[in-house]
Structure 1
Amino acid sequence: MNSELAMSEASVDNQTQGYIRARQLQAVDRLIPAMMIAVIACAGALYAFQRHAHPTVLPIWFGAVLAVCGWRTAATVRRNARPPRRTASAPAMRNLIAEATLTVVCLMSVPSWLLSQTTGTTYAILVCLLTGILWAGCLTLATVRAAAMVYVATGAAIVVIGLLWANQDFEHLMLASLFPLGALTAMRSVDTQAKMFLDNQRQQQSLTKQSDLIGLLLKDYEEQTSDWLWETDSSLRYTNPSDRFVEALGRPSDAIRGATLGSLLQDEEATGNGAACLQVRACAEARQPFRDIVVPFTRAGEMRWWSISGRPVYDETGTFLGYRGVCSDVTATKDAELRIAHLAHHDALTGLPNRAFMSESLHQALRDPDRACLAVLSLDLDGFKAVNDRYGHPGGDALLTSVAERLQNEVSGGDIVARFGGDEFVVLNVAFTSPSEVEDLARRLIESLSTPVPLDNESVTIGVSIGIAFAPTDGRTAEELLKNADAALYRAKTAGRGTFRFFEPEMDRKLQARQRLVQDLRNALTRDELRLDYQPFVKSETGVISGCEALLRWRHPERGMISPVEFIPLAEESGLIVPIGMWVIQQACREAASWPSTYRISVNVSPVQFRSRDLPQVILAALTSSGLAPARLEVEVTEAVLIDDADTALEILRQIRSLGVRVALDDFGTGYSSLSYLRRFPFDKIKIDRSFVQELDTRHDSQVIVQAIRDMAQGLGMTVTAEGVETDDQAKRLRQTGCEELQGFLYSRPRPANELTFRHGEMSSETIRLQA
């Protein structure tokens, strides 16, 4: 295929070069007759003037000039009389060079020889003659650069030889040097003119190709256009149907001729056909012109739309002769308009109605006086994001399409399934007589969507949470019902997902309170309401503080201190955790930079922050602006960071680790597959969850688990920090297991940065302790 393409391109290039060579030769041929006549005249004058001085040489030379010039003139006249040739070969150019060489030798050899035989006025005449012949040939051959160069160079060489043949004094040397300089000037002029000529020819060739292409396109458009002419007589009956009109209608011309205007397009089953045909008929009977009346009808079982225009025709006396007009098939345009209208009210991916269609349908259903009640089910897929991250957008789109099909299979004929965007769906249920039927529908939907979906030769399992609101008890407007169904959906997700909940008034109050809290949290950063408290972790053997964990706190201007358990989930759900998390990292690094150099700072990172993918850049910027050494920063992540998309999360952790920052796995032992993550990523530290520490005194299995975690971490080269240490006995047991660091109320509660004071202990001058 590549070789064929290369051969095709080479063929096109050869054609272009052949065309340009033909134009070059044509330009030379137009000038040669005049040049040859001028040369014969000058040679004749020289012959008449000097024949008595050189009775043998000059007649022979003049005869040769007549022969060469006559031959070239005759050949050129014959070529000029023929139609211009479309192409010329490279040998034709070489023939021109040979002809130019022969001509310059013939014309200039004897006059150059005469320079050594004459003096005075005759000498000057010969110099002028030779100069004229040189420039005349140069200008004639200017379009063919190689021929002109050979001509000029050969002529100049002959003249120089003639000038210096018999005398090499200073004057002759000076005169001889002028001819090479003149030749160089002539060559430069030739070079410029040849380049201009070639550029002009290439441009003309390009314009010719473009004109040919435009002509082909116009011809193709003319052949493919769907317009055709029609005419009627004074009785409004078709006459002389054109071939295009006959072909477009798909009827014999005899069946068209004599039919009344508009009757051929009547179709009672096509919506809008009757009104359009009536409009055409009314305009024609009123002798009024009409334009672009679109008539829908079916032809061969397919829906078509024709646009009809016409005007009345009168003779000189004002007598009505009939109508003349044009038809065009606008089916493609109408199909596009219908498609656009469909897309305005339907989801492009699944084909389901969209939010606008559902809202309009809900409004209409609520206005129907015969409808006693209806239900709105708000659905949100569980686990869709993990599928989308793993399989990409094509896999996510395939899953959403499958979900749409399953939802439609479960609802009744009068119900509407709509997609609101992302993985949110809404069902308008009107075919029920009691709430229990809606409950059965919700169960069927949950069961249907929990069945594995085949995707990329694998089976993917997701779930769905559903919130249900009824009209008119839960809302009398579409906005109220959708909002309250969302409130019930939020409760269903909170309840553990994969379930459904009915709306209750208390939900609305809680949802509004939640939305207000989210808005307050949005403003908390700008209002300087957030702060960091710090809780130390100490070396288990010595009690020496090795670092602090930064803990986020929020003092609300009206509600006071709000628990992180309450506002952190809201920040994650709303996406506010990303800017808040950036502030936490920056603030913690800034504070820790002023602490002793042996003191580390530990910062928790939310799984939501990992989804933004720019966490390594945020950490690098914080370290750079604060001046904190990377080894003094420790990033704590939970297993939740790794569950959704482990490969991406581990890659981000590797980027963080490459900065020199330590990485710790928090709440170890509470997840499902922590051991696999320990094998895939070399964490610097494991933090044992407080639930194991608090039961060390009462449960033997907790002691065994803590010991196993310590042994495993030691084998993997990781340190262990135990959280939630509150008693001396817990600290003692943890030291016995080999835990390197301890953290908990036994040592200190979290406190603001301005309450952190340090003093030197008794163990050594470098021991740093937090003052109680």
Structure 2
Amino acid sequence: MFPFLFCLRDQHDAPLVILAAIVCLLTAAATVRLCRQAAWTDTGSRSLWLTMAGLTAGLGIWATHFIAMLGYDPGIVMGYHVQQTVVSLLVVLAGATAGLFIATRAPHWLGSLLAASVMGGGVTAMHYLGMAALEMPALIRWKADYVAASAVFAIVPLVLALPLALRGRSLAKGAAAAGLITAAVVLLHFTGMTAITLIPSRGEFSPLSMMSPRAMSLWIFLAVSCTIALTAAAAITSRRTGIKLRRQERENQLRVQGMKAQLDLALENMHQGLCLYDGDGRLLLWNQRFLDLYGLGSDALQCGMTVGQVIRTGIANHLPVTEVEQRAAEIERNLNQALSASGDAPAISEYPGVVVSVRSRALPDGGWVSTFDDITQQRRSEERIRHLALHDGLTGLPNRRRFNDVVDRDLDVTARAGSRLGLVVVDLDNFKDINDSRGHSAGDQALKMVAAALKDAVRENEHVARLGGDEFAAAILYREDYELADFVTRLSTGLAAINAGNAHDLSVHASLGIATYPADSQDREQLCNHADLAMYRAKGTVGERICYYEKGMDEQARERRQLAADLRGAAARGEMTILYQPQRSLKDDRVNGYEALLRWTHPKRGLVPPDIFIPVAEETGEILALGEWVLRQACEEAARWGDGLTVAINLSAVQLSQASLPESVAQTLLETGLAPRRLELEITETAIIADKPRVLHILRRLKAMGIAIAIDDFGTGYSSLDTLNSFPFDKIKIDKSFVIGSEERPQARAIIRAVLALGHSLGVPVLAEGVETSGHVDLLVAEGCDQVQGYLFGRPGHAPSLLAREQARLAAG
């Protein structure tokens, strides 16, 4: 330690030593600035700045050494070899530049150690090469320990200085780096100088061949000037770069602030709630929508809250206190599953009045983000869509699909519990008439009233539905027969109550068909079919509204379906014929007309009776086409007759329901050339009673054309004096059942007398059907009957025109 201080105090000129230290410090500061400039720039220009930093450091260190050497006074004359001095400069330039490049390429402690060793080694080599360049009348002896210490002093500070110079950002770190570089150079120099021991020598010494201190001062001046120039360039560039960086920083700050404001605005206006958590499950960020979604105040959440705390805070407003912990644990389990799974399926949380969809996505840093959607309205819409898919839009009752599901479920219950299932099919009898006469709004109102009546009639665990159109269904699980009977009674009573003074003045009637499981069927489809069959049986039976399924209905239904299929197009295939039965006057014993009777000869079944195929034709609507065909054929045939003979044609209730019937009849008469007075249309009172005002209106239009209207089968069905009083019929036909039974039953004779007396009092001619014996004739003549028809006077036969042609041919032959 004392030799070091002795060397510094007694062998160096203090002003020059201070000057050397100042030059070294300025050089180090410039080197640090240039290093930072290199760190701030892109890869392309970084090498240039590192080279400048290395040259600045090398020139400054070399100048520092030789300035200090100018202040060294060993007490003898000395000079410098030029070549060795130049080599020392090149060595320190290369070492400084290489060290900086190494430190940049290897930013770890081993890289820093290697870079410091290269740069410090270059500085050390420069020092001792510079000392070797000295020429003086003395020998230099070196102290090895001081030489080694000088090398260590040159390297160790640089290990700390280079990272601070290249990667530091603050002014303090830059000053520390410059100080450490200066310390390394100064310690190296003075420790190295302390290692010298001069021994006077008489060796050859020529001051003229050496570089004088004055010349060395010039070289040092040039080196310092270059250093200053590089330092100034570095300062100017660094200043400009600093200004640019500060401007960029301000712009970045403004941009960041703008982005933050936009982010805050976006977060606050998100449709979804949002919560951001770090890797430890701590809350980092949330938005107002999340608070609104869970009804929380602005101070309800704090940064750093755990996910469990956030969950409990959120659901506390929606659940009872006793349920919060259990629900929170469930939500945390769902969250962990969502974060560990690769899918993106949401977790649905339902609370009173609100339904929330939560999606959680893991982040690379171990945290996650959760988004919250209020799907309450969506869930309500889905439930409404589901309800609409399973319920009738008009009546609100379950539809066919829903009812089928209920019946399937109840069938499973019956199989397990040993109970039974009753299925009731309800069909309105006059719905088409309501629609046609009152409009579809009245029809809709009728359906609503029926639905309300059925809904009021059922109890818990009983079901009712609208299957479509005017068809409804009901189902009940029961064990005892009386339970099913009570169920059917409640349904029928409720339906009957509709007509008891409803505000819409609608008359609604329905037919009920009942089938049971397992007695009548083994599956739902068969059960429904059987209930339908029973309902159609009730609809087709006069005076019946309720019918239970019976075995054999299936075969009958199949038979009727096949018959209906065969009936379509039967007239076009030539299977239909019209027979004509004469009608005779008892006053002059002359034929005054014929009744046209339709007959069907089936290619396989043979002759099918009218009472079999006519009801089928009426059910399927085929009666309309058949009726037009019969009307045209009979009118064409009657047009060939002479003597004013009439033709009587029966009209069904279905034909009478057609408002276009008068126009159709008029067109047929016009095309066939038959006079309207020669056409007689026969109807039954049953055909009138369904919609009496409408039918009577159609009959009046026909009668106004000159067509005669006869009431057929009088005395059966719904016969009443009101019907005769409502319309001026042209003829009354007594049903054949009374004529045939008149010989055995006094009641039949009494009815015949009453009808004949009624006809005489009204001035309406009466025709008796079924006259087969002379006794029948005697009775009818005695009671004043006008006309008769029956086997006694002629069976139904071929067309009279055909028979006349055949008789003419035989007479001519």
Q: Aligning the two structures, in what range does the TM-score lie when normalised by the shorter sequence?
A: 0.5 to 0.7
2:361 and 2:712 mapped to 1: Cα distance? 84
Q: Which amino acid aligns with 1:708?
A: A
2:758 to 709, 725, 728: 709
Which runs of 5 or more residues in structure 1 are unaligned? 1-224, 762-772
User: Whole-Å Cα distance in 1 between the matches of residues 387 and 570 of structure 2?
Assistant: 44
**Could you tell me how far 1:465 is from its partner in structure 2?**
3.2
Cα 1:619–1:279 shift into 2, 3 Å: farther
Report the CA distance shift for 1:531/1:227 in structure 2 as closer, same or farther (over 3 A).
Answer: farther
Residues 581 and 308 of structure 1: CA distance in aligned 2, closer, same or farther (over 3 Å): farther
Q: Which residue of 2 aligns with 1:468?
A: 515
Distance 1:544 1:236 in 2: 115
> What do you get for the CA RMSD once the two structures are aligned?
4.2
For 1:354, which of 390, 399, 415 is the aligned residue?
A: 399
1:343-366 CA-partner distances (Å, limit 9, x unpaired)? 332233333333222323333443
1:592 and 1:662 map into 2 onto residues whose CA distance is 15
The reply to whether residue 341 of structure 1 matches residue 386 of structure 2 is yes
Superposed counterparts of 1:286-435, under 5 Å: 293=346, 295=348, 297-299=350-352, 302=353, 304-305=354-355, 323=369, 327=373, 329-368=374-413, 369-381=415-427, 383-385=429-431, 393-432=440-479, 434-435=480-481
Q: In structure 2, do the counterparts of structure 1 residues 388 and 454 end up closer, same or farther at CA, with 3 Å as the change threshold?
A: farther
The one of 514, 536, 554 aligned to 2:600: 554
Shift of 1:311: 7.1
Given the superposition, is the C-alpha separation of residues 702 and 268 from structure 1 closer, same or farther in structure 2, using an over 3 Å criterion? same
Q: Does 1:688 align with 2:734?
A: yes
Q: Give the direction of change, closer, same or farther, for the CA distance of 1:593–1:236 in structure 2 (3 Å limit).
A: farther
Q: Once the two structures are superposed, what CA deviation does each residue of 1:100-144 show, in whole Å capped at 9, x if it has no partner? A: xxxxxxxxxxxxxxxxxxxxxxxxxxxxxxxxxxxxxxxxxxxxx
Partner residue in 2 for 1:652: 698
Cα separation, 1, equivalents of 2:329 and 2:669: 75
1:232 aligned partner: 276
Q: For 1:160-171, what aligned pairs fall within 5 Å after superposition?
A: none
Aligned position for 1:572:
618
Aligned-partner Cα distance in 2 for 1:238–1:654: 90
Cα separation, 2, equivalents of 1:236 and 1:597 = 113
Task: Among all aligned residue pairs of Structure 1 and Structure 2, give the percentage whose two residues are the same amino acid.
Answer: 34
Aligned partners of 2:673 and 2:795: how far apart in 1? 27
Residue 751 of structure 1 is matched in structure 2 by 797
Q: 1:469–1:488: 8 Å Cα contact kept in structure 2?
A: no
Q: Give the counterpart letter for 2:693 in structure 1.
A: D
Q: How does 1:496-645 map to 2 (within 5 A)?
A: 498=544, 500-596=546-642, 598-645=644-691
Q: How far apart are the structure 2 equivalents of 1:294 and 1:324?
A: 11
Distance 1:395 1:675 in 2: 31
Within 2, Cα distance between the matches of 1:384 and 1:245?
59
**Distance in 1 between the 2:581 and 2:329 partners?**
81
- For 1:552 and 1:236, the matched residues in 2 are separated by 94
Amino acid at match of 2:335: R
Q: Distance in 1 between matches of 2:343 and 2:527?
A: 53
Deviation at 1:562? 1.4
Counting only pairs closer than 5 Å after superposition, residues 47-196 of structure 1 correspond to structure 2 as none
Equivalent AA in structure 1 for residue 400 of structure 2: R
SS, match of residue 653 in structure 1 = helix
Task: Name which one, 1 or 2, has greater alpha-carbon Rg.
Answer: 2
Name the residue aligned to 1:220: none
Q: Distance in 1 between matches of 2:330 and 2:734?
A: 80
Identify the match of residue 281 of structure 1 among 335, 339, 352.
335
Gaps of 5+ in 2: 1-268, 808-813
Q: Could you tell me which amino acid in structure 2 is paired with residue 508 of structure 1?
A: D
Does the C-alpha gap of structure 1 residues 694 and 502 become closer, same or farther in structure 2, counting only changes over 3 Å?
Answer: closer
2:7 aligns to what?
none
2-structure distance, mates of 1:712, 1:259: 105
Partner SS state of residue 656, structure 2: helix
8 A Cα contact 2:435 2:443, kept in partner: yes
Shift of 1:615: 2.1
Q: Do the aligned partners of 1:238 and 1:259 also contact (CA within 8 Å) in 2?
A: no
Question: What CA distance in whole angstroms lies between the structure 1 residues aligned with 2:750 and 2:690?
Answer: 30
TM-fit CA distance, 1:604 = 0.9
SS in 2 for 1:542: coil
1:83 alignment partner in structure 2:
none
Asked whether the equivalents of residues 532 and 752 of structure 1 are also in contact (C-alpha less than 8 Å), the reply is: yes
- Compute the displacement of 1:572 (Å): 1.7
Contact 2:576 2:601 in 1 (8 A): yes
Name the aligned partner's letter for residue 749 of structure 1. R
Alignment check: 8 A CA contact 2:410 2:421 kept = no
**Further displaced range: 228-237 or 543-552:** 228-237
Alpha-carbon distance between aligned partners in 2 of 1:262 and 1:551, rounded to the nearest angstrom: 87
Counterpart amino acid of 2:619? E
1:561, distance to aligned residue in structure 2 (A): 0.9
For the Cα contact (< 8 Å) 1:379–1:489, is it kept in 2? yes
Deviation of 1:334 (Å): 3.6
Per-residue Cα deviation, 1:166-204 (whole angstroms, up to 9, x for no partner): xxxxxxxxxxxxxxxxxxxxxxxxxxxxxxxxxxxxxxx
Deviation of 1:606 (Å): 0.7
> Is the 1:534–1:751 Cα contact (8 Å) retained in structure 2?
yes
Deviation (angstroms), 1:607:
0.6
Q: Is residue 347–residue 354 contact of structure 1 (8 Å, CA) maintained in 2?
A: yes
> Does structure 1 retain, via aligned residues, the 8 Å contact 2:648–2:679?
yes
Q: Distance in 1 between matches of 2:549 and 2:674?
A: 51
2:502 equivalent in structure 1: 455
Contact 2:577 2:600 in 1 (8 A): yes
**What amino acid is aligned across from residue 572 of structure 1 in structure 2?**
E
The amino acid across from 1:538 in the alignment is R
Tell me the CA shift for residue 448 of structure 1. 4.4
TM-score (norm. length: structure 1): 0.58
The CA deviation at 1:251 is 3.3
Whether the aligned pair in 2 keeps the contact of 1:534 and 1:549 (CA below 8 Å) is yes
* Letter in structure 2 aligned against 1:252: G
Shift of 1:553: 0.9
TM-score, normalized by length of structure 2?
Answer: 0.55
Partners of 2:571 and 2:347 in 1: how far apart?
A: 60
